[in-house]
Amino acid sequence: MAETKEKSLSDEKPKPRVRPIVRLGIFLISHSFHVSVVCCTAGVLALFLLPVLAKNTYISENALMPGSASPMLSNQHVSDGNRLVKDLTNPNSKSSETGIESHKIIAQYMLDLGAEVSFHKFHPQMNQFHPLHFFSSPDSGKIQENYSCSSYGINTVGIIRAPHGDGKEAIVLVTPYNALKSGFGEALSLGIAYSVFSLLTQVTWLAKDIIWLVADSQYGEYAAVAAWLREYQTPKFSSLSTPNAEMCPDVNNLFELKGHSISGSKFSNSFRRAGTMASALVLKVRDQNEQFEDTISIYAEASNGQMPNLDLINVVNYLAVHRQGLRVNVEKLWSLLNSSWLKSLGEIFESLAKVAKSLYPKWKFGIPATEYVEGTATLASSLYYQALGVPTGPHGAFRDYQVDAITLEISPKFSLDKVWRNDILLRGGRLIEGVIRSVNNLLEKFHQSFFLYLLTSPSKFVSVGVYMIAFALLIAPLPMVAASLYVDANSSSNCSKGDSSTPSAITDTDEHSIAIRSWRWLNSAKLVFIVHLWGAIVSLLPYFISQIPDCSPTTSFMIWVLLSILSLLTLNSVLASPLACAKATQEKEWALVKSVTISSVFIGLGLMSVINFATAEIGALLMVPMCLLAQPLKLDVRAGTLRSFCRMICNLVLGHIAFPPAAFFLLKGMLDGFGNANVGDFWMWVESLWAWNSATYLFIGMVQLPCWVLCISILFHTC
């Protein structure tokens, strides 16, 4: 259409030849509708194709050499570990109320191996909302207030120094342990760690120091590990509050251990360190399990969707599957496994692959439908947990200090006889030994393999180069649509003016009005800016609301909503009032607003994709259709065609779904069922997001919410 116009124009008045790249741009802009439909469908399709495109993992770093050495962990070490388990589960050890006895037992066992032992006291830090602490590196925290003697945890730390090593690097092994109410699983995990530890005191191949951290998980596993890491990486040399926990009687009691031990120099009550941490493993054993196989689950997601190097997962997977015969699990969205539409989609892909293979035998990209469904479920959970930006275990604390870490959760098939226990100790221990040996082999830190990936199964992954395509396709139409809307809004008004006045009679006043008209988008930009400002205010509000004492989540949420609406109205009345009168005079105002909104969304999504890809992907799935479809309902009603009716329905549905709380409840309902949904849940969820410094929170507050508000305002635009 544009070309024909151009031709007709060039017939009248010769125009210089347009460059091909510009012509292509003009073509895309003029056909933005078709382009956007094609791109969005392709984007969604590419997302669903990801499990098919996933590659098999491989060990990228040659130095790791997993499984090349035969495991040295013998039954001797297993019986040592068993001894510790027995001592810990012994009812006598639980006589003390604070569980100090069991810490003493662990420390004594470590000392007997010749390891250096120290206790680390910590006060659990309350998670607080620091509005400016997003993305900032973890600091030593503020000066602590006076804590009472009762609320502290004790981490027991044992360090083996590598006999030939230079002590520059260390490997950390973490076992969360709650001395007060420890299940059998926790004791078993300590047993596994101890058997590995006792082996490592004897081996000669150790090049890196080994730190075994028994994290006191009575205030949460993450808090204990994070407190220890904070002390390790950013210690405070000054303590302003002198009456601290040193005065508490229990702690002094704890340090009496020193007197009992013969090799007293190995024990110290000061904080002990080893070198730079190379990697960390968190080991857990689940208490109850109904599965018929010994499985091991890998949790890798850290804050803001950061992942450890893929090689670490590969090593664990390789050793567990090929050496110890354990089944490896990665988190899945279980609800997706039974969905029939996914199955049929998988079947379609499978049959397509068959067709392709029959056409050309070298095309082998198909995977069986069941595998596809499983892959999609894993991918969805991978995306979900990365998007949430909340670490899935204590390993997340390590990632904040650029240490690669994963959590391994062993869920043994349940039985109580001794043979089984020895078996799980032996296999778990050999797995840990193998991983430590591999990491010990590393000369450099993990850098060979991927850091940006999504898992579709423990042995399959989608790398950044592949999954970015889906996202790029999804957001590609945004700038085109924005440009075409802008051009339309300008040219339509131009044309209407141009028709009324002959081209020869262009006066100064007209030129002036054209200049004003070409700057008209600034008004829309102002509106968009105001709404984004409001978004920033809304995302800051919870900080003040959380200061209100004794507030239930539901009331907090209500206060938040009320304050948000109030602030929007105030902002609108204060800042946007001159706009309102101007708005009435101009038709096509909504097109400009939409254009600016779309560009701001594009910028927001682009930025977010760099920070946390998964959030950006999920956000794009919600927001891109909403932005692209938004059109005043009045216009649609007026038009009355089937097409406009469809659009109206879509707009209304999307307008509901894309509202963040609505999206949250929908997702929650899909996962857990709608029965126990509560208004306060959203507040709790948001609270957890800011507590973990998740960038998703910022994204929701400053990109998604303003975009939603703008789209709604376009929907209800009076034109």
Partner 1 sequence: MVLLQRPHILLLLIDTHQFLQCWIAFGSANEEGQQQEEFSEELLVKPLPDHKLLAHFHFQSSAPPSTSNGCHHHLFPKAISQLVQKFRVKEMELSFTQGRWNYESWGGFDPISSSNAKPPGVELWAVFDVPQHHIDASWKNLTHTLSGLFCASINFLESTATYSTPEWSFPPASGNVRYGTFPCEAVCTENLTPWLRLLPCRDKAGIALLLDRPSLYRGFYHSQRLHLTSTESSSEGIDSGIILEQTLTVVLQPNSERAIEVHASEKHVQPSWSLSSIFGKQVSGRCVLAKSSSVYLLLDRGLVAELKFPNKENGKSAANGLTSENFWSNPSFELSVNPDRIFLEESSSHSKSLSILYMFQVEKYSESEPFDIGLMWKVPVAWLCQQTPLHASRFLMGSGNERGAIAISLKSTQFTEGFMSANSKDGSCELRVDVFQVVPWYVKVYFHSLRVFVDQQPRAVSDFIEKIHVSPSKDKMSPGVMEVVLKLPCRVNTAALTIEFDKGFLRIDEYPPDANQGFDIPSAIISFPNFHASMVFLEDDSLNRSPLLSKFQDKCPVMSYTEVLLVPLTTPDFSMPYNVSTIKCTVFALYFGSLLNVLQRRVAEEERFLKAKAAKKTGRLPLLLSKLSAKLRGSGINQD
CA 394 from chain centre, in angstroms, equals: 14
Quickly tell me which residue has 């068959």 as its tokens: 354
> Per rule CB under 8 A, is residue 233 in the interface with partner 1?
yes
The smaller minimum CB distance to partner 1, of residues 271 and 664, is found at 271
CB 527 within 8 A of CB 576: yes
> Per rule CB under 8 A, is residue 610 in the interface with partner 1?
no
Q: In whole angstroms, how close is the CB of 457 to partner 1 at the nearest point? A: 28
> Per rule CB under 8 A, is residue 258 in the interface with partner 1?
no
Q: In whole angstroms, how close is the CB of 452 to partner 1 at the nearest point? A: 13
Selected range binding partner 1 among 48-56, 265-273, 428-436, 543-551, rule: CB under 8 A: 265-273
Q: Which of 237, 292, 341, 360 binds partner 1 (CB under 8 A)?
A: 237
* Residue 586 CB partners (closer than 8 Å, separation 6+): 493, 520
Q: Which of 92, 142, 148, 164 binds partner 1 (CB under 8 A)?
A: 164
CB 110 within 8 A of CB 102: no
Which residues within the stretch 445-464 sit at the binding site for partner 1 (CB under 8 A)?
A: 445, 447
> Per rule CB under 8 A, is residue 145 in the interface with partner 1?
no
The smaller minimum CB distance to partner 1, of residues 258 and 520, is found at 258
E-strand ranges in 432-522 read 453-457, 460-463
> Per rule CB under 8 A, is residue 165 in the interface with partner 1?
yes
> Per rule CB under 8 A, is residue 79 in the interface with partner 1?
no
The smaller minimum CB distance to partner 1, of residues 261 and 567, is found at 261
Instruction: Tell me how far apart the alpha carbons of residues 496 and 492 are, in angstroms, rounded to a whole number.
Output: 6
Closest CA to 222 of 393, 390, 388, 389: 393
Selected range binding partner 1 among 267-275, 369-377, 469-477, 491-499, rule: CB under 8 A: 267-275
CB 200 within 8 A of CB 71: no
Selected range binding partner 1 among 228-236, 337-345, 374-382, 420-428, rule: CB under 8 A: 228-236
What percent helix, strand, coil does the chain show, rounded to 5?
Answer: 60, 10, 30
> Per rule CB under 8 A, is residue 75 in the interface with partner 1?
no
The smaller minimum CB distance to partner 1, of residues 76 and 501, is found at 76
Q: Which of 25, 124, 167, 553 binds partner 1 (CB under 8 A)?
A: 167
> Per rule CB under 8 A, is residue 220 in the interface with partner 1?
no
> Per rule CB under 8 A, is residue 341 in the interface with partner 1?
no
Q: Which of 87, 169, 216, 636 binds partner 1 (CB under 8 A)?
A: 169
The smaller minimum CB distance to partner 1, of residues 139 and 511, is found at 139
Number of Cβ within a 10 Å radius of residue 566: 10
Q: In whole angstroms, how close is the CB of 6 to partner 1 at the nearest point? A: 14
What are the backbone angles phi and psi of residue 318, rounded to the nearest 5°? Answer: -60, -50
CB 595 within 8 A of CB 524: yes
> Per rule CB under 8 A, is residue 444 in the interface with partner 1?
yes
Q: Which of 41, 338, 402, 494 binds partner 1 (CB under 8 A)?
A: 402
Q: Which of 252, 263, 338, 491 binds partner 1 (CB under 8 A)?
A: 263
Question: What does the block give as tokens for 478?
Answer: 């945004």
Task: Look up residue 275 and give its amino acid.
Answer: G
The smaller minimum CB distance to partner 1, of residues 273 and 357, is found at 273
* Residue 267 CB partners (closer than 8 Å, separation 6+): 107, 111, 116, 117, 118, 257, 258, 261
The smaller minimum CB distance to partner 1, of residues 116 and 350, is found at 116
Selected range binding partner 1 among 24-32, 356-364, 399-407, 457-465, rule: CB under 8 A: 399-407
> Per rule CB under 8 A, is residue 588 in the interface with partner 1?
no
* Residue 556 CB partners (closer than 8 Å, separation 6+): 542, 545, 546, 548, 680, 683
Instruction: Tell me how far apart the alpha carbons of residues 198 and 80 are, in angstroms, rounded to a whole number.
Output: 8
Question: What does the block give as tokens for 493?
Answer: 């008004």
The smaller minimum CB distance to partner 1, of residues 169 and 687, is found at 169
Q: Give the single-character DSSP code of 132.
A: T
The smaller minimum CB distance to partner 1, of residues 165 and 606, is found at 165
Q: Which of 204, 500, 502, 509 binds partner 1 (CB under 8 A)?
A: 204
Question: What does the block give as tokens for 346?
Answer: 């998988």
* Region of residue 244 (left: phi > 0; alpha: psi -120 to 50; beta: else): beta
Q: In whole angstroms, how close is the CB of 169 to partner 1 at the nearest point? A: 6
Residue 533 class from Cβ within 10 Å (0-12 exposed, 13-18 middle, 19+ buried)?
middle
> Per rule CB under 8 A, is residue 276 in the interface with partner 1?
yes
What are the backbone angles phi and psi of residue 225, rounded to the nearest 5°? Answer: -65, -40
Q: Which of 275, 498, 553, 680 binds partner 1 (CB under 8 A)?
A: 275
Instruction: Tell me how far apart the alpha carbons of residues 263 and 664 are, in angstroms, rounded to a whole number.
Output: 57
Binding to partner 1 by CB under 8 A, coded x per residue (else -) over 16-35, reads x-------------------
Q: Which of 221, 311, 400, 617 binds partner 1 (CB under 8 A)?
A: 400
> Per rule CB under 8 A, is residue 270 in the interface with partner 1?
yes
Q: Which of 41, 151, 202, 252 binds partner 1 (CB under 8 A)?
A: 202
The smaller minimum CB distance to partner 1, of residues 468 and 563, is found at 468
The length of the chain, given as a count of residues = 719
Question: Which spans in 113-247 are helix H?
Answer: 184-200, 221-233
The smaller minimum CB distance to partner 1, of residues 235 and 368, is found at 235
Instruction: Tell me how far apart the alpha carbons of residues 296 and 424 are, in angstroms, rounded to a whole number.
Output: 11
The smaller minimum CB distance to partner 1, of residues 201 and 586, is found at 201
CB 41 within 8 A of CB 464: no
Selected range binding partner 1 among 166-174, 360-368, 477-485, 651-659, rule: CB under 8 A: 166-174
> Per rule CB under 8 A, is residue 587 in the interface with partner 1?
no
> Per rule CB under 8 A, is residue 401 in the interface with partner 1?
yes
> Per rule CB under 8 A, is residue 246 in the interface with partner 1?
no
The smaller minimum CB distance to partner 1, of residues 401 and 683, is found at 401
CB 279 within 8 A of CB 310: no
Question: Which spans in 65-157 are helix H?
Answer: 75-89, 100-112
Instruction: Tell me how far apart the alpha carbons of residues 191 and 283 are, in angstroms, rounded to a whole number.
Output: 11
> Per rule CB under 8 A, is residue 133 in the interface with partner 1?
no
CB 471 within 8 A of CB 620: yes
Strands 209-216 and 169-177: what pairing?
A: parallel
Coil, helix or strand at residue 299:
strand
Which residues are bridge partners to 170 per DSSP?
A: 209, 277
Q: Which residues lie near partner 1 (CB under 8 A)?
A: 14-16, 76, 80, 112, 114, 137-138, 161, 163-169, 202, 204, 233-235, 237-239, 262-266, 270, 273, 275-276, 400-402, 443-445, 447
